[in-house]
Structure 1
Amino acid sequence: MADPRAALQRLIDERGEDYASLSRLIGRNAAYVQQYIKRGVPKRLAEEDRRLLARYFSVPDELLGGPPADAARTEADLIVVPRLDIEAAAGAGAIGGDERPRAHFAFDQKWLRGLVQGDTQRLSIIRVEGDSMVPTLADGDEILVDCAGIGERLRDGIYVLRIDEALIVKRLALNPSSRRVSIKSDNAAYPTWPECELDSIDVIGRVVWAGRRIT
């Protein structure tokens, strides 16, 4: 593999760039790029710095020291999460469908473990139906639900609940002194249920991530 410092210097020369401008581009002090090329400090560019420079010069990340573009991921790098054929209503409540996987999504293991603390085997993806959690969640959003250890780790956040056989997605606010919770909608047009007994609520899981189609 070519020396990434030499490659960066060649790009600078060919395109008439200067060290200080490139350093500012990546949010570093004016001498940063020059020190990297001429003195070898730092030994390697930080990942985000390298990617910014590669995008700026429209060259492969690999040219500046990144991994090969075709490097294959191993199964050990990924965690597969099922997308269940059910919906959680962000509205008046709806009966869930069959709790069978409709599809599977593979997530980077390191990234996923930064989101969840418990057993990643207790994760699932379901679809939001309704508008009571707008603007946080919209109709049709896909949400990643963590069902592990809910009882011991209940805290303020957005959860999927089962009420009268209906699945709903709401925000829970825990009162630490009374150990009661308020069930809230982020959309002000919907009511809040204050000071509910914890025993009266069937908490399915905590929403830790959401995906949305951009139209």
Structure 2
Amino acid sequence: MSAGVSYEQVKKLKQGQTGATNVDDAIALAVELNMPLGGQQLEAANSQGAPSDLPTPAGTMIDVHDVHASAGHGALVESEYVIERLSFPPDYLDRLTRTHPRHLKIIGVKGDSMEPTLKDDDVVMLDTTKTSLDFDGLFVLRWGDALHVKRVGRASNGSVRIISDNKDNYPAIEMARSEVEVIGKVIWMGKKA
């Protein structure tokens, strides 16, 4: 079976021997057979000590917003609608963040200021609980009415250093912290082929 669960395990499961498999195999089998895994099935699969609050095997859905952050000179935000949802395997999402999915957003990127890291029409996932300018990293920021995806560094005078990866065309700038709003930290990038 392509789920990686042996015929013997399937046979034992059909006979009600829930101890015949582990949580990972149960989830893989449910996904392979396009079956929901929840309630009693999940409790039975968790009898080997796995957490009982696992999401369904279909994956954790993350909202994709009709918003683009500029990797250039700034993109105005006129609306923020959820236009789609992307599914992420729960174990993969757990490796990215422990933040609840309701605090995660996926938005598009426009422009070339973050090349080669991010290109025009790539997408990024933001953790909107991470809004401190006390840490360096890749963030989506708002100043004025525009959203920007940029690296953040601390400047010596207490201001914020806004850095583009395409340094030849977009030199770093310094701004007062009060002028910059952090929308979220970039924790994942989706690249266009």
Q: Normalization by structure 2: what TM-score? A: 0.68
2:188 is the alignment partner of 1:206: no
Which structure would you say has the larger RCO, counting Cα contacts within 8 Å and 6 or more residues apart?
2
Q: Tell me the CA shift for residue 102 of structure 1.
A: 0.6
CA contact (8 A) 1:171 1:184 kept: yes
Q: Tell me the CA shift for residue 125 of structure 1.
A: 0.6
C-alpha change, 1:110 and 1:184, in structure 2 (3 Å) is: same
CA contact (8 A) 2:61 2:101 kept: no
CA contact (8 A) 1:85 1:97 kept: no
Q: Which runs of 4+ in 1 moved over 2 A?
A: 67-75, 117-120, 177-181, 196-200
Task: State the alpha-carbon separation in 2 of the partners of residues 109 and 2 from structure 1.
Answer: 25
CA contact (8 A) 1:118 1:149 kept: no
In structure 1, the residue matched to 2:109 is 128
Task: State the alpha-carbon separation in 2 of the partners of residues 180 and 117 from structure 1.
Answer: 29
In structure 1, the residue matched to 2:143 is 163
Q: For structure 2, list consecutive stretches of 5 or more residues without a partner in the other structure.
A: 1-5, 9-23, 39-54
C-alpha change, 1:187 and 1:73, in structure 2 (3 Å) is: farther
In structure 1, the residue matched to 2:50 is none
C-alpha change, 1:180 and 1:119, in structure 2 (3 Å) is: farther
Q: Which has the larger Rg?
A: 1
Structure 1 residues 134-149: aligned runs within 5 Å: 134-149=115-130
C-alpha change, 1:173 and 1:211, in structure 2 (3 Å) is: same
Q: Tell me the CA shift for residue 211 of structure 1.
A: 0.7
CA contact (8 A) 1:128 1:140 kept: yes
C-alpha change, 1:80 and 1:133, in structure 2 (3 Å) is: same
Q: Normalization by structure 1: what TM-score? A: 0.62
Q: Tell me the CA shift for residue 149 of structure 1.
A: 4.0
2:154 is the alignment partner of 1:191: no
Structure 1 residues 38-57: aligned runs within 5 Å: none
C-alpha change, 1:174 and 1:72, in structure 2 (3 Å) is: farther
CA contact (8 A) 1:131 1:138 kept: yes
Structure 1 residues 1-215: aligned runs within 5 Å: 1=6, 67-68=28-29, 69-70=32-33, 72=35, 74=37, 76-77=55-56, 78-151=59-132, 154-175=134-155, 179-188=158-167, 189-194=169-174, 196-214=175-193
Q: Tell me the CA shift for residue 200 of structure 1.
A: 2.3
Q: For structure 1, list consecutive stretches of 5 or more residues without a partner in the other structure.
A: 4-46, 48-61
* 2:81 aligned partner, one-letter code: R
CA contact (8 A) 1:82 1:105 kept: yes
Q: Tell me the CA shift for residue 108 of structure 1.
A: 1.6
Percent identity of paired positions between Structure 1 and Structure 2: 32
